[in-house]
Structure 1
């Protein structure tokens, strides 16, 4: 019976057009609802297994926000039953998006066809969940449906807030966990996708949709035919397919994906839409590849290392120890000592998974298989105590253990073993991987035994010698009394020596002053002799016979040589009296200046100068210049016979001190006479060959010694000579110089 027949007849006639329109509208709406319900049942029947299997939540809602379908993951996530949720509107769950914004957002989603955003839903017990939502609009004949894939990111958001300094790392982890969704409308050959697909494919928003051919162009050429076949299989058989694929981004980068696809039923049981998802597995694939490569390297190292290595599984022992602790046992030493069978039980629980060739050789096995398997076969009465200590250490919480024990090879030969045990990182909670390194220390132990035997023999000898020494103690005491008297005589002699030394120092100073005075006073008569001889030669040369002229020239040469000798003596004397003015100097500049000043000495000669790096030093610049003048002049003099002279000036660092040197390829000298080299008037070559007075190197030594340095030479006849000297480095502080001075005084 019609629910409107109770109205009066007049009203029926008056309202019949409106009622008729309302009936028609209601009938249309009922048909639409029926059709939509049928579609939902078909959709749920086709994709329900996949949606129920996924760990992400799934929501299907109409554009008014009323929930039409949810999966078990979303029910578990939000705390409501499926029946409760299907009576609810999304507005009752939404927390973050304002109520007045929801309608506008839904319209925007429908217009765009997809959306991706983060929001918050309130659970049944009042908790707020942070959610990552990927929206795909499913277009139907009359009214679109909103499919939402929901991922609970509450913990992720909390970690993100706590660890802002690791934002980039966490963002990467989030992206790796995202699932990209795509739909392929087959009649129009149009593929649309979520933003995560855009990111995975590296499109940067440049392409919003494509065709199947366009998608396949992104697939790696080696995978393209297989993927096309799988998608065609899914389309024709209307069954889900799961596959791995590689895509090539526009920038050429290859990404590895785990994908699935299935046909989505439409009205009238038609299948025009394929829906799929893909997860970027690139980092996982690459990490797995790196892990495999790392495993290969580890295995190569494991096999090739000369130390015997054992890889063992102690997880059974860990479980046994945990059971004992649960029973209240804490003193494991007492437990194992009172229960020796427990030691063998633990040995049977341990599995030897792998050993290297060094272990095979150490235990004289024919192959690895003889040692792999249960550890109990290797535990003997000799090794049981060491194994017990190993178990006690592990039970006490230690992850490393070291010991030494006696064992026997498979052939029965005795071997001393040094063992180091370590639980592999990451296995501290399970003991599933324990690495043991064993060294054969038999030779060392035998040596120690020999040493102990020798020590015992030595102790016996010491006792015998001690007896002899005791007999001689009385003699020593008598000698001591004589030594006391001798020491008193030595002290008196030392006092006399001190007085004599002071007198000698005063005499040396007087001699220096005398030498300076005499040298200075001799210059005037020598100049007179040379001058008068020159006048005789210049003005009376025609009247003098040849022999007289030769003798006068000889007088001049000798007087000039004597004058040079006096000049050198004066210079040498001044070096002893001239005060030091030490400052930071750059030897490089001094050498360059000296080299230019000695240009006349180099005229007409072919000389190769090698000037190395000369670090700054702490010295008197004028005296250091005199050192380089004397050494470089020597080098120029003694390379005169070389067609191409080679002079090298440089510095090297040794034992935290700077060693400067001047090296040449000249005449050199015999090192047997090196001790005379730096003495006054000492010469190692004849005056007819090389001029000089023999004072230059003595001046060099006096200058360097006054600076607190050392000077020495190395040479070989006809192969050149090298003169070395040390100076205080330029970076030394006053405090360091003081410590160095004190240190030298203590060492002396």
Structure 2
């Protein structure tokens, strides 16, 4: 029977009784009518006794006849039965009515109880019609799922917005409904507040007299369970990842420190015979001698049942190799407190140990290179102070090393170069450059100037923060002096050219007709007059006099304006010295006839220079052919035009076949594009030498690294004619650099992995702290509640000491509750997502101080707020920071006659620091490091209230913003808290 059918049947019982009563009354009435009719006839017969005897005789036997009396008796019986049935029907009707009232009351009570249960439970009821539209949705949906039940009434479920359902899933659901099958459906939709809810609908079909009338069921809000299951899965996954990623083995030991269990991590690739380990101690496996100090200390620690961490030891494996392990463990006890053994983890650190040894060897090689390098090498910290210098640099300046160490990089720099050093340092600090090259001057110990070429490289951490510098210093004093001397010689030569122009003469028929002042110097005459009418042939030696005269004489074919070919002569000046001259001439008309105008240039120096140049070229060729570096020259397209023999030694390619080939054809394919860029920069007019590292492939297939130094070749008349430079074989150095770089990259990867593990552990600890803080509330409430009941109910029966104890219990629980609230707030702030925006800190300070003034209107307060101080930060979190700092200043300056609080900003090395200062009691800076730790207080609670969480909360918020916070104070002199906000 359906739950709605039973009350209807019970209510039908009185109506059935009424119908029975009506029938009984009708039957009794009919019997009464019949009885009255027969009685009337009988009465009429008695009254007519005087009728004729025949008639009376005929009638009396009818009355006295037994049959008549029987009929009368039957009539009376029928009448009695009818009356009895009537009275019985009336009694049954009254019973049915009473029973119906009682059943209705029970049904209504059960209905009310059912509705109360529905309203108070986590489920709600619903019904649909035959078209699957909702006809009923109880109000429990609003209280349980925060959704409007009216939205469902009259609608199909699939017409409502759902996040997890698509057309295919709705189609499957509708097919189940069409088959009138029970169903369970889970949907996700947003509630009235916009939160995503997960709802479960469980329904079964309704049938009445075999006809389908719809569905009836219950709904449940499974949001918390689904979210909890999801968080549980995530937590289990994090825990599993943490466990599998944190160690190689998990182990257990008994009370005799023998291994009883050894579990290998899934990621552990080390093949360890577990059966050979079980039943043995750690020092037995390592074959350790008990007298070794570190083993002796470890065994003693275990015997004292103390925890140990990262105990490092070595062990010879079955294959003869030595492996290193790091073990950590802690003792565990049973419920009775008896020592049961140790549990812990172990890691295979063989690779790390080998890397440490390799790193030590690399450090030794670096130290050897550092000490014996022919150039000066300096390392500086981020502030520019020298941390180490090698012997070459100390010798360069003439100072002992102890004098150079710890000094600023500007120390011993020439005063004229200190401004350039400062500018370069600022560029390093601001991140504009990471390397710098240039020339600078130092002041030697004896006072003379040392010229140096410096190469500075910045050392930065993974966040691009400046850690220090490495500087290479090369002494170029000799080169600078040589350049100066060369420039001075060139200047003297230019002045000589300016004051001694070429000699000019005009001659005809071997006679000098005109000579300028410069010609007197060429021919060695005291003045120009001494040269006039002097034969040119006299300046030539006897054997060559006639030949010279013929070559200088005009012939009939020469005409005015005709240029004569360039000629070079050697003659003897009037002073008796031999002079080499170069002459160019032109036929001119002079004093009525043709003559030769000749420009004579004394090239004696040039000839001598050419001879010296030839000798220099010979020496240069010998040097070029003997050096180990490749000397090359190319055209503008990078095609070799010259190579020295070192090319064949390094590359194996013959010089004859290499000249005429482009440099790029010998390079590694990955470096050819870089080489083209190098030549492009040089052809574009690079102002300095270009340096680039390139790789070539030798004839034997070997890859060798070369350091290329290239510059333009300029014509004497201007313009680039090609590229020249050198190629230095740096293969050995490059291999060492790449090896060291790979080692450093591996170390950095390990550091990042360890950092990620620590961050995950910190997040788990914060979640654990938050959960424990919540779980502590229940016992505290119980303690406080029972203490309150005892204090109220037994106040008259307790003595003063017991009452004081109860008061102290309640006060302690109250303090503990405040501490838990602060811990929860600290954990909440740690997990809260940062929402940065531009906020006016000055306005926030104004609002907070206004609230504090209203709380204590009797105090005299002088508050100085610098207006317009803004920051890009989370508004809610920054209000927590400012409120904690300002209320601390308010609290600890309460003893002053006039409280002074200031909010302002300062700049510290390009970083803005916001400050809150007061004139309160202050504190000793020796304990400043404890200020920002939870529950650490510098003043007793009786003097100043508080839980010791406020400044820890402030420090955590500032740290999450990427800033820093510090405190400055002295007892009785107030305090100042300064904080910055990261970008």
TM value normalised by structure 1: 0.32
Greater per-residue helix proportion: 1
Larger radius of gyration: 2
Higher relative contact order (CA 8 A, sep 6+): 1
TM value normalised by structure 2: 0.25
